[in-house]
Amino acid sequence: MPQPVTTFHSHSLSLKTAMAECLADPTPKTVHRLRATIRRIEATLKLLIDTADLPTLPKQFKQFRRSLRKIRRAAGAVRDLDVHCELLATYKTISDATVLEKDLTVQRGRKEKKLQRHIQRDARDILRILDKLESILAPAAELDLSGGSLARAARTLLAPALLGLDPSDDEGLHSIRKACKSARYIAEIGCDVSKTAASFTKRLIDLQQTIGAWHDHLVLLNEAQTSLASDSPLTEKLRAQADALRRKAESKAVRLLARKAPTPISPYI
């Protein structure tokens, strides 16, 4: 059965590698790996707080999140620009696309330097905390959770995160995506051993990607409105696409919210 502590060790190694690689060459792939790995570690630690008897873990988890906050946000800023440049490639035949791409490329250069500064400043502290977390988690090294239990854990985490969110509101819809992402990182730990976990993970990824496509277009539209003329054909095209993607994303989010919330289960074994 899946062992969350083993998963943590794997993510910890990936984080160390990603930070080193971003210092050397912050490619889009490397920056994405850094950002996603941080989120996966956070989700795994949340799971262990609920399932393992480790009294000192919550406090150390908060310290870990504080240490990583600036790196996570800086990586997110670079990643957003990478996604926007990828999106622009699909509009390259439209006037003004090249102008906006050049502007985003300049922004990307500034943001990647900011990310590297945060890594240089905070990496030593993060590595120290990772070592401390490994010691704290050692007593739970043999903790096994079934794939079905991990799927239930993900649903239990997701339910309160969705309370009060309105998919007709832009911020609410974006928050639904973030909640699905956190739940997905827990469910996917059990994907290799459970059809239930794999199915739930697939559903969360689908919704996450649908909402993400809308949000990426929305943010890129804002960039275009700032950088280009008000009558830019690219701006009009992005607005039409963002509106279409929003309708699709809201429809899927409404279906998710209509599902009955699961009964909390603790521990998930």
- Structure-token pair, residue 200: 């739930």
pLDDT (0 to 100) of residue 170: 96
DSSP 113-148: HHHHHHHHHHHHHHHHHHHHHHHHHGGGTT----HH
Q: Alpha-carbon distance 86 to 88, whole Å?
A: 5
Spans of all domains in the chain: 1-144, 146-262
**C-alpha to C-alpha distance for 137 and 48, rounded to whole angstroms:** 9
CB neighbourhood size of 150 (10 A) = 28
Per DSSP, the residues of the chain read ---HHHHHHHHHHHHHHHHHHHHH---HHHHHHHHHHHHHHHHHHHHHHHHS--TTHHHHHHHHHHHHHHHHHHHHHHHHHHHHHHHHHTTTTSTTHHHHHHHHHHHHHHHHHHHHHHHHHHHHHHHHHHHHHHHHHGGGTT----HHHHHHHHHHHHHHHHTT--TTSHHHHHHHHHHHHHHHHHHGGGTTT-HHHHHHHHHHHHHHHHHHHHHHHHHHHHHHHHHS-TT-HHHHHHHHHHHHHHHHHHHHHHHHHHSPPPPP-SS--
Question: What is the structure's pLDDT at 40?
Answer: 95
Supply the pLDDT for residue 233: 93
Residuewise pLDDT in 10s, the chain (269 residues): 678 999 999 999 999 999 999 999 999 999 999 999 999 999 999 999 999 999 999 999 999 999 999 999 999 999 999 999 999 999 988 989 999 999 999 999 999 999 999 999 999 999 999 999 999 999 999 999 998 999 999 999 999 999 999 999 999 999 999 999 999 999 999 998 899 999 999 999 999 999 999 999 999 999 999 999 988 999 999 999 999 999 999 999 999 998 755 544 444 44
The conformation of residue 264, written as its DSSP 8-state character, comes to P
Q: What angle do CA 42, 180, 7 make, to 5 degrees?
A: 35
Please state, in angstroms and rounded to a whole number, the distance separating the CA atoms of residues 188 and 194. Answer: 10
Residue 100: phi and psi, rounded to 5, are: -65, -40
- Give the separation between CA 199 and CA 79, rounded to whole angstroms: 27
- Give the pLDDT confidence score for residue 1 in this predicted structure: 66
